[in-house]
């Protein structure tokens, strides 16, 4: 009976620790968001634009050649993904089906 009480107490400590950790991470994230919004002049759109530029999702290109080179690289990545996935898809579509017993 004592082991069950100890396990129950440890479980409560574990959940209390997890809630505390989650709360700390949530407060940190809220603080980071508020700081970022303050730096962006309280404009959520500008904050989102700065984030997308920082992670490389959008870029500011100097010339048309730079832009075309970027698009061409993305196109090559899409082609390689298709060429890798197509054989698996073809095998899946053309597999032999087991007869259905009636």
Q: Per residue of the chain (102 residues), give pLDDT as tens.
A: 567 777 788 889 999 999 999 999 999 999 999 999 999 999 999 999 988 888 877 877 889 998 898 889 989 999 999 999 999 999 999 988 777 776
E strand or H helix at 3, and its extent?
A: helix 2-39
Distance CA 47, CA 36 (A): 7
């Amino acid at each position: 009976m004592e082991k069950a009480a100890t396990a129950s107490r440890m479980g409560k400590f574990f959940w209390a620790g997890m809630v505390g950790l989650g709360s700390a991470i949530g407060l940190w994230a809220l603080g980071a968001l508020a700081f970022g919004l303050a730096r962006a002049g309280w404009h959520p759109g500008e904050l989102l634009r700065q984030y997308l530029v920082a992670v490389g999702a959008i870029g500011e290109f100097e010339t048309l050649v730079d832009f075309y080179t970027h698009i061409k690289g993305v196109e090559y990545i899409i082609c390689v993904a298709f060429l890798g996935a197509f054989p698996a898809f073809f095998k899946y579509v053309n597999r032999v089906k087991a007869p259905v017993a009636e």
